[in-house]
Amino acid sequence: MEALILSLLVWLGMRTDFNLPKDKSELPKIEYRTAEAMKIIVYGVIGSTIHKEVRASYDKNTLYLPKDFNPKDLKDQRTMLHELVHFLQDYNKRKYECRNVAEIEAYTIATRWGQEYGIEDDYAAIWIFGPRGCFESIVQPDFPH
């Protein structure tokens, strides 16, 4: 798993302006959770009432991945890359007007990675259905082609 994290970080380092961790001790931890536990991590105590799927999450230097995460599956790798973007946002102490701006950045970068690896763009729905809030202050980035 460490090799996958390192390869995704190299990709991010070559295509973004994020500073990367200086050594392996700074890499995020990985914890595996059930789908229900993932909802509680993201939404708190109301998580069990949320009907939206939560595929992964990042919080305080920890990547939370589903128990069925497959490191050889490109869509799962893209999910990990998305969460690594959040790790790098945190690591680089980036400040965003609201969380959704950080989400859009992560989705945009993960979509670009997916395009390079031939993954059908099922992330496009994010521009239609969410993330919600603070859109009046967001300058929509050019969607990667």
Residue 55 has pLDDT above 50, yes or no: yes
Q: What is the mean pLDDT of residues 14-18?
A: 98
State the Cα angle at 104 between 89 and 57, rounded to 5°: 60
Domain residue spans in the chain? 2-137
Q: Which of 6-10, 22-26, 52-56, 91-95 shows the lowest per-residue confidence on average (mean pLDDT)?
A: 52-56
The structure's pTM equals 0.83
Mean pLDDT, to the nearest integer, of 11-34?
97
Cβ atoms of 97 and 134 within 8 Å: the answer is yes
DSSP-derived secondary structure letter, 72:
T
pLDDT of amino acid 92: 98
Residue with tokens 């050594």: 23
More confident residue, 104 or 13: 13
**For the ranges 25-34, 35-44, 76-85, which has the lowest average pLDDT?**
35-44
Q: What is the pLDDT of residue 138?
A: 46
Please state the rounded mean pLDDT for residues 74-95: 97
pLDDT class of 42 with cuts at 50, 70, 90: confident
Higher pLDDT, 37 or 118: 118
Cβ atoms of 103 and 131 closer than 8 Å: yes
Bridge partners, 57 (sequence order):
64
Query: For every residue of 105-144, which 3-state class applies, written as one string?
Result: HHHHHHHHHHHHCCCCCCCCCHHHHCCCCCHHHCCCCCCC
125 — pLDDT class (breaks 50, 70, 90): low
